[in-house]
Amino acid sequence: MGSAASQQKNEVEVPRPTLSPDNSADESSTSSTATLPAIIVTAPSKEDIFAKPPTKTIEEANKEPRPSRQPICVGLEDVRHRHFRRRTLNEFEQTDYTFPVECPLFYLSRVCKQKMETTADTDPDPIKLKSIKNKRTFTVPQKHRLGNCRSVKEFEKFNRIGEGTYGIVYRARDTRSDEIVALKKVRMDKEKDGIPISSLREITLLLKLRHPNIVELKEVVVGSHLESLFLVMSYCEQDLASLLENMPTPFSEAQVKCIALQLLRGLDYLHLNYILHRDLKVSNLLMTDKGCVKIGVVWICNQFTTLFNMYRAPELLLGTKTQTTALDMWAVGCILAELLAHKPLLPGASEIQQVDLIVQLLGTPNENIWPGFTRLPLVGQYSLRKQPYNNLKNKFTWLSDAGLRLLNLLFMYNPLRRATAKDCLESSYFKEKPLPCEPDLMPTFPHHRNKRAAPAVETQSKRSKV
């Protein structure tokens, strides 16, 4: 009698849960309610996460005497290690789920996982800011955490299509419009005080750029943390760097002219709006399956000013403090020559080697052809070889006179005499045969970026060996 009474005393009346179709249980042998010891499943607390796993087995826990009307409670770590630990109901909130002990262990684990994910989504770390007016610290309300921006959770990530110095780029789908976009996560590793004001200016400027040959920045979305910043851009299937590496046959001259014209139109639009790109290279030129070439324009915190690439103008390598549109036009000459020669024109691996390659190709600069050359800050650090000849004609023996004239205008040492984008668009080279083909007639290629996403630095070093 005593044992039966104590057993009845330790039992709790709880309803049997309704399981989902994939976890349906056989209810033919049981009634709608049962008198069973209850298990309370909870999301882990801070103490639970850092607590050592219990060492008692289920059999040992069952042999222990239980306090009256106090069920055994199962936390997340108990399910994970398949151990039970005695707790009281006061340790848990009243909103925790309650299940009979006969519920399958995998079902309990699944509920714990869902509860943990729900808690992480709905209860992120609070954002605390300091007021400018009264210098007091306040917590940003949950409904105002994202401001006017959308959450990055509204985008479904497919695969990584690129990773560089400025961040990681994903191919993603906008769940609202069902549109495929490029989602770029901006690196904020070195920023301790939030987003710099210079970056906010750049983003505001990029949001206003609208041109067929410029990658469109659609909007800015954010994550649950202050440093989680994503740029939503129009998606292009190809970039010229991966195309030049993987295409079986090089572009024809008519196709090269088509690409160059689109590049010049986009660059002319930027320059008319007083914008310098300063980081033009083949990996920043994207192409859609319809043959439309777009310039990737993304600067955050001006990080590219410290990077070296083989498309840099000589005045930048020699330490000029005045930067003009001529920097971009030198890069256009390098890209055009690379497309025509099917390999990089000046594949330098360092600033010293790059300057030497330029001198070998165009000759040694002097004050006559480049006024102010000797006053550049870094001229004394280079020992320039004596080379008086321009070897562009020897490099492109098959190119027409109009094509050579265009390259010479783009590779002028004096930035003030270098051709502008508008000058190049009016060049006779694009009006002679073979005429530029239409973008719709450009060939299509497999989507190499969806198969692999090599870092930009590795790609550049690989192509420089061609």
Enzyme catalytic residues: 279
Considering only CA atoms, which of 222, 346, 329 is closest in space to residue 277? 329
Across the beta sheet with 285-287, what order do the strands follow?
A: 238-239, 285-287, 293-295
- The distance of Cα 119 from the centroid of its chain, to the nearest Å, equals 27
326-341 and 401-410 are packed helices; what angle lies between their axes, rounded to 10 degrees? 140
DSSP run (H or E) holding 287: strand 285-287
Please report where in the chains the tokens 């770390």 appear, as a residue: 125
Distance in angstroms (rounded) separating the CA atoms of residues 243 and 342: 11
In 104-243, the DSSP E strands lie at 128-130, 137-139, 150-151, 155-163, 167-174, 180-186, 217-222, 229-234, 238-239
Structure-token pair, residue 52:
């050592």
Distance in angstroms (rounded) separating the CA atoms of residues 97 and 111: 9
Torsion sign (Cα): 222, 227, 228, 231: positive
Distance in angstroms (rounded) separating the CA atoms of residues 355 and 359: 6
- Residue 27 has φ and ψ, to the nearest 5°, of -100, 10
Parallel, antiparallel, or unpaired: how do β-strands 217-222 and 238-239 relate?
unpaired
Q: What is the DSSP letter of 17?
A: P
Structure-token pair, residue 436:
């530029």
Parallel, antiparallel, or unpaired: how do β-strands 180-186 and 167-174 relate?
antiparallel
Distance in angstroms (rounded) separating the CA atoms of residues 429 and 403: 5
Residues 6 or more apart whose CB falls under 8 angstroms from that of 274 comprise: none
If one counts every other C-beta atom within 10 angstroms of the C-beta of residue 458, the result is 10
Structure-token pair, residue 46:
């801070």
